[in-house]
Structure 1
Amino acid sequence: MTRPRLWFVLHHRPGPSAEPGVRPMDQPLFAEHLAFLRRRAEDGTLVAAGPLEDTDTREGEGITILAAPTLEEAHRLAEQDDESVRSGLLAVTVRTWTVVMAPVLPPEG
């Protein structure tokens, strides 16, 4: 039996410096968010990422799932390593998710 695993859910939404009425993904600093996601893919912490479709797409909300070693590290990555968050284009909330069942869990890092 697979033991529960902690992953971290990053809920992104427009931040205080996002241009009103323009989706964050259509603003220049969004390239920094994509660079953050590429770094997470390269270091193996990225599980999945993408926009939320059940919200008004003008809102520009999305979710990133990280397999970081600790909550503190997930916060550091989400809040300090992502320049789009540091600049205020995106705001982020980090939550712990205990995964108790999945068809296939990637190996722990």
Structure 2
Amino acid sequence: MRPTRRICNLLTEGKAMKKTFATFFVPGPAWIAGKTSREQPYWTEHAAFLDKLFADGMVILGGPFANYSDLLVIIEADTEEQVHSLFKQDPFVLHNIIRVRAIREWLLFLDARRRA
């Protein structure tokens, strides 16, 4: 199968699939400089929150960049508003450990999870 056809098939199949969003976070005012994510207050609650989204199939992958300047979570949802609403419940967001910098819909042309 030609790559172009494969991409077209993935896009047309995607109509019934959830959208993929790249959600970028930055440290908030309560972030303790010099500490990793796991050393921040409310880590256990934050990890449980993300583990639930992961178990539900919403979070695909996530974590901080190596220097902890930003964090990235790839999530599947119906709308950007749903992503905003979900992360308003994150204990790290509620307690200003991190804040959402941007949520961007991501059109995936290549996705190893959807190999035919």
Which category of TM-score, normalised to the shorter sequence, fits these structures?
Answer: 0.7 to 0.9
Q: TM-score, normalised by structure 2?
A: 0.73
Q: TM-score, normalised by structure 1?
A: 0.77
What is the aligned-residue RMSD (CA, Å)? 2.1
Gaps of 5+ in 1: none
Whole-angstrom distance in 2 between the partners of 1:62 and 1:44: 19
Where in structure 1 do 4 or more consecutive aligned residues deviate above 4 Å? Answer: none
**Cα distance, 1:103 vs structure 2:** 2.5
Larger radius of gyration: 2
Counterpart pick for 1:67 among 64, 76, 87: 76
Whole-angstrom distance in 2 between the partners of 1:10 and 1:104: 19
**Cα distance, 1:60 vs structure 2:** 5.2
**Cα distance, 1:86 vs structure 2:** 1.4
Structure 1 or 2: larger helix share? 2
- Identical aligned residues as a percent: 27
Counterpart pick for 1:86 among 94, 102, 108: 94
Residue 51 of structure 2 is aligned to residue 42 of structure 1: no
Aligned length: 101
Show CA shifts across 1:68-92 (max 9, x none): 11111011112x1201111100112
Match of 2:109 in 1: 100
Whole-angstrom distance in 2 between the partners of 1:13 and 1:25: 15
- Three-state SS of the structure 1 residue aligned to 2:47 is helix
- Three-state SS of the structure 1 residue aligned to 2:85 is helix
